[in-house]
Amino acid sequence: MVDHEPMTAQQRVQLNHVAKHLHSKFHGIFGLETIEAFVFESYDDIAKRATVTKWLTVTAEKYALQRLEALAHIRDQTLQSVPAVLFLCVHNAGRSQMALGWFKHLAAGRAIAWSGGSEPGSELNEDVVKAMAEVGIDISREFPKPWTDEFLGAADVVVTMGCGDACPLVPGKRYEDWELEDPTGKPLDQIRPIRDAVRDRVDALLGELLPMPPA
């Protein structure tokens, strides 16, 4: 049962347009019906937690895109040679978002990653966003979301940060648990060391996954 305000006719039209746009991106990989199902399901997942409804369709599009990219990664053997990582924490508003930001920055397209939470919050930690901006990484357009079967299935490595038994466990999957302080409720000057510790962990992981540095 979906626990949020009923979808408006305008939102439904917008989501149909989103599905058609994504269908053009994944032409020959996924059918329109499959993509429509992902788009509307993603909308429901985001709408359940949203405190601001203005950008729901935009966020749903981003979420559906990420899920479809992960599913394509699973199905396409040529993509499976690209290392994939899933970062998980509780609210997907702090540590896992910093890890994802650092990973994208340091990997520079050589690997792919996603993030998720066991109990996703409604918005990112503003001071975490500021701390990352200080090092030139903009994560302001990211958003808290739950982990999904697509993310989990596509990941070569699952990195957990504080979600304990609530994090998914798949036999045979490589897991790492990073013991890092939770930035929730901490001022910016106490978040900076956490940010830097996350960078060191991500850098070390990339060193394992991508032993050869970019030219």
Task: Say which CATH number the domain at 52 has.
Answer: 1.10.8.1060
| Whether residues 195 and 94 fall in one domain | yes
Number of domains in the chain: 2
| Whether residues 89 and 74 fall in one domain | no
| Whether residues 62 and 92 fall in one domain | no
Give residue 144's pLDDT.
Answer: 93
pLDDT, tens digit, for every residue of 173-203? 899 999 999 999 999 999 999 999 999 999 9
Residues designated as active site:
89, 163, 167
| Whether residues 90 and 193 fall in one domain | yes
| Whether residues 74 and 27 fall in one domain | yes
| Whether residues 51 and 94 fall in one domain | no
Provide the total of helices (H) and of strands (E) in the chain, helices listed first.
7, 4
Task: Find the CATH number of the domain harbouring 134.
Answer: 3.40.50.2300
CB contact set of 61 (below 8 Å; sequence gap of 6+)? 18, 21, 22, 39, 42
Higher pLDDT, 192 or 2: 192
pTM for the full model? 0.90
pLDDT, tens digit, for every residue of 66-75? 999 999 999 8
CB contact set of 141 (below 8 Å; sequence gap of 6+)? 62
Mean pLDDT of 144-163: 93
Q: Which domain holds residue 54?
A: 1-78
| Whether residues 116 and 182 fall in one domain | yes
The domain boundary, picked from 78, 111, 131, lies at 78
| Whether residues 97 and 182 fall in one domain | yes
| Whether residues 87 and 61 fall in one domain | no
Quote the CA–CA distance of 182 and 162 in Å, as a whole number. 8
Nearest 5°: the CA angle 58, 60, 62 is 75
| Whether residues 70 and 16 fall in one domain | yes
Q: Is the pLDDT of residue 150 over 70?
A: yes
| Whether residues 65 and 117 fall in one domain | no
Q: Is the pLDDT of residue 106 over 80?
A: yes
Give residue 170's pLDDT.
Answer: 83
pLDDT, tens digit, for every residue of 38-64? 999 999 988 887 766 678 899 999 999
Quote the CA–CA distance of 57 and 62 in Å, as a whole number. 9
| Whether residues 68 and 93 fall in one domain | no
The domain boundary, picked from 78, 105, 127, lies at 78
pLDDT level of residue 3 (50, 70, 90 thresholds): low
The domain boundary, picked from 44, 78, 112, lies at 78
pLDDT level of residue 2 (50, 70, 90 thresholds): very low
Cβ count near 54 (within 10 Å) = 8
Angle between helices 9-25 and 32-47 (to 10 degrees): 130
